[in-house]
Amino acid sequence: MRYFLVIVLFVSNYIVAQTSDFIKGADISFVPQIEYLGGAFTIGGTQTDPVEVFSQNGVDYIRLRLWHTPTDGYCGLAKTIQMATRIKQSGSKFLLDIHYSDTWADPAHQTKPVAWQSLTYTQLVDSIYSYTYSVVQALNTANVLPDMIQIGNEITVGFLWPEGRVGGSYNTTIQWQQFTTLLKTARNAIVDAVPGTTIPIMLHIDRGGDNAGSRWFFDKMNSYQVPYDYIGLSFYPWWHGTLTQLTQNLNDLATRYNKNIIVVETAYPWTLQAYDNVTNIVGSTSQLHDGYPSTVDGQFNFLFDLIQIVKNVPNNKGNGIFYWAPEFISVQPVGSPWENLALFNFQGEVLNSITAFNDIDTSGSISVTFNLNTSTNWDTLRTSGMVQLRGEVVNGSNILPSGENLTWDQNSQVILQNAGGDYWERTIRVLPGSEIHYKYWTGHSISDPTFLRLGWEGPIQPFDSTSGNYRKFIAGDTDTVVQIEYYNSSGTNVNQYWKPFEHKEDSIAVYYRVNMGGVTSTGRFNPSVNGPVGVRGSAVNSINILLWDNTNLFLTREISSVNSGSFWSGVTYYPLSSVNENQEYKFFIENDSQNGWENNISNRSFTIPSHDTTISWVYFDNQPVVTDVEDELKPVSDFALFQNFPNPFNPSTKISWHSPISGFQTLKIYDVLGNELSTLVEEFKSAGDYEINFTTSELSSGIYFFRLTTQLGTKSIKSILLK
């Protein structure tokens, strides 16, 4: 990535001015304290104002937190005005994050300022108005009026507790009325403080990859008619899910609420090493996102891909991102638990990953979208898996105009995102006339490839029948969506655009696929005795494509698929008159010792689309393989630690998990600094589902982590204790 750093620092014409409609921001609230303690930030060894470092590298918006009466003065109004002055002088815009607390506010801590502790609710409403009004007026007087203000910080469960607390035992009408009244009052104060000036308002929660949690909160905002302009979300992959889950949440929120959306907090590690004796919040490979190693390149790729995801939110509602505490390097005596998540190394030298913020000159380039369907992968690839496009630009630079480096190895930065079921896609920018040779690689993670050919697909013949074992794309002059491609698991050479079914002009092809490995491992199903496997279902639109009392669609066994041929698949064709009809179905064992049916599930169903499609594979009867006889099965994909319930909790909560194999298991609890507090489970357990109750009288309110370790790996969940 040195290439990008040189471009930025020496102002090559490859970089153009940043766009005005997409925010690329950073929260650098630690700068005054770090500078006071002797910390310095450098470019090529030359000390540079950190505000200027960010400004030179495409960051056009700075966020600052404001505390009411902090004990050391940092993040108080006076120092915020000083810092805001530097921001405005650099030409950047300014987002004010009012915590309404003397210290950190987040889902585990929403403590009222000491000055407000004894107030009645009515007095609290008056105080939030007068305080907010005076803050905005003071900033305006100092000529540093914010360009946006967020009311509260990660207010998923309210703020100004207990009066403004919601959720859990506080999930009552009166609590919601009080909370939303406080929000409205703060907004009114902002509007009134500077008449004639409109400052956009953000509401910020911490549910980046949690669509249900996000909808719960913003549905309440709608029902109580809270006015706001921006949805703000925190997204840290070790707490808030995957990029796929974030994408799905952003896309749904944009459509559902028609609001502008900003990922207002995010970060990613450039190393897992530590510099000081303060335990880092991220220090384990289990906390990393698949496909993004803890390297400077990994940090760059995560940030770059996140920016593209937000930019691609429907209806142009994805308005930007803010990196949280990129300047939080370690200085004594305070140290830093965030040092490996900063955009500077341990000595304060800016990292190449900061270049992900830069707008790259894509003038003259076109947009190309690649689409892959993995229903033909003979392994159990899930939506949480990984698909990589590996290859080269044979007549140009492998560094694409959109910034990615395309290579034939695992370092390729063109990583496809799941688009639902077996469908994966990625949009890149290329120059007209570019000839790209490529193939697809799949894995359960970057270090865990699918079982055939170490993740590589089989032999492919280019679409134009030229020689060579690769796919080929030649860019034209206009934006292009490459027609759907199918992963080739076989050892047979197939054409680039082969399909597992025939396209018919008068029909819709639907490809069914089921994994019989679970019922095979339990003894219910023996392929040579009980087969074949079929599909039965409701007659659609009076056309008996499927029937409940007879099998019209028999599936074929994929002999070479995972777990000694556990997959069965087949295609049927629906007439065009069936489009938008609902198809109910179940898989059926023709010669079953039982009744043949999937018994533990309700009828499966889908709406017949207007185009050929594949139905995402499932286990028969939703029974996964329960033995580890075949290493090929990759049972790690079934290993799960579920969110504790209730959460937040006091004093008890339930933790449950599923392990598909037998083995030694440990379940431990840690505090936010990574200190181990207690061991809850430490024993050999058989494969299965488990649940324990955890009760504490010793721990104080705060964020804690339950971490489960088995031979399949480690998983963690974030939990909140609220007393």
Residue 78: enclosing H or E segment and its boundaries? helix 77-89
Written in H, E and C, the secondary structure of 574-616 is EEHHHCCCEEEEEEEECCCCCCCECCCCCCEEEECCCCCEECC
Q: Which residue reads 């950047």 in tokens?
A: 92
Which residues, at least 6 apart from 468, have a Cβ–Cβ distance to it below 8 Å? 437, 461, 462
Residue with tokens 């490859």: 14
**What burial class does residue 686 get, using C-beta atoms within 10 Å of its C-beta: 0-12 exposed, 13-18 middle, 19+ buried?**
exposed
The CA-based angle 319-58-412, given to 5 degrees, is: 85
- C-alpha distance across the termini of the chain, in Å: 47
Adjacent-strand bridge partners of 96:
64, 149
| Type and span of the H or E element at 356 | none
Active site residues: 154, 265
Report CA 476 to chain centroid distance, whole Å.
Answer: 33
Q: What is residue 214's three-state secondary structure? A: helix
Q: Answer for the pair 620, 515: CB distance below 8 angstroms, yes or no.
A: yes
Separation of alpha carbons 639 and 504, rounded Å: 41
Q: Which of 673, 715, 718 is nearest to 282 (CA)?
A: 673
* 3-class DSSP state of 305: helix
CA distance 24 to 214: 23
User: Of the candidates 475, 301, 465, which has an alpha carbon nearest to the alpha carbon of residue 393?
Assistant: 475
| Residue 661 to residue 656: CA distance in whole angstroms | 16
Residue positions counted in the chain: 723
**Cα four-point dihedral sign 676, 681, 686, 688:** negative
Q: Which residues lie below 8 Å from residue 455, measured CB to CB, with a gap of 6+?
A: 441, 442, 443, 449
Helix/strand/coil for 249: helix
Print burial letters for 214-251: b (CB count within 10 Å at least 16), e (below 16). Answer: bbbbbebbeeeebebbbbbbbbbbbbbbbbbbbbbbbb
